[in-house]
Amino acid sequence: MYFLSFPSIDLYYLLSAVHCIDHCWLCDNAPDLTTCRNTTTTCNVGEQCFLEKFVNTLAETRYNAGCRSQYFCRAMEALSHRKRRLDPCSQCCTGPRCQEQLCGSTLSTESRYRCLHCASVSSTSSCTERVTCQDTEVCKNDIFVDGGLLRYSFGCEDTYKCKAFLALGVGSHTGRRDDMAVGLCSSCCVGDECNKGDCFQMRHDMRPGMFGP
């Protein structure tokens, strides 16, 4: 009787190599997910794709993405159960395009909205510009006092911030702004040009779930 002899193969290495053929987004301090997905990388053995979402000192949402040790991913997953709801998000995954579902960010070209876009105008009717938001953004509407004058601001807001307002039990982030102006109302809404409505009514209409899970 004859037996075929094969070179010994490290089964763990083989499974890991097959496991890591996925291409992952690669970005550092990116302003949006579109920037992240424009560049990809292939992970090494023992690594997984990851996505981080955080707010910097200027209250701007930023993203990091790439490959990370699977052991580090497990440690971060264990720590995530102890984190507060509004802490920065850091998650890992495996599988094709899996980063699209991390940190509550679902990419879809159909989710982009056109919103009024003006930094500081005297009234809603004074704003004639429009902008198309990123996949993870919705429309926003702000009212504030600057130099004794009532001013309005329109544009896009990251859904992460909108959900944060709701989690805090408020529909706005009123108070003193970074530019020393005083905020009176800030609200988010879903739909094309929905931010041309009254800010206070929009804030009243904000409900859990309207900006995604």
What domains are there in the chain, each with its CATH number?
11-104 (2.10.60), 109-205 (2.10.60.10)
Q: What is the mean pLDDT of residues 16-40?
A: 72
Q: What is the mean pLDDT of residues 109-137?
A: 83
DSSP letters for 97-142: TGGGGGGG----GGG--EEE-EEEESSGGG---EEEPPTTEEEEEE
* % pLDDT > 70, the chain: 77
The reported pLDDT for the residue numbered 22 is: 63
pTM for this prediction: 0.48
3-7, 92-96, 126-130: segment of lowest average pLDDT = 3-7
Q: Is the model's pLDDT at 171 over the cut of 50? A: no
The reported pLDDT for the residue numbered 83 is: 53
Q: What is the mean pLDDT of residues 63-90?
A: 78
**pLDDT: is 82 or 196 the higher one?**
196
Closest by CA position to 181, among listed 154, 143, 207, 155: 143
148-171: b (≥16 Cβ within 10 Å) or e: eeebbbbbbbbbbbbbbbbeeeeb
Q: Is the model's pLDDT at 113 over the cut of 50? A: yes
The reported pLDDT for the residue numbered 142 is: 92
Average pLDDT over all residues of the chain: 77
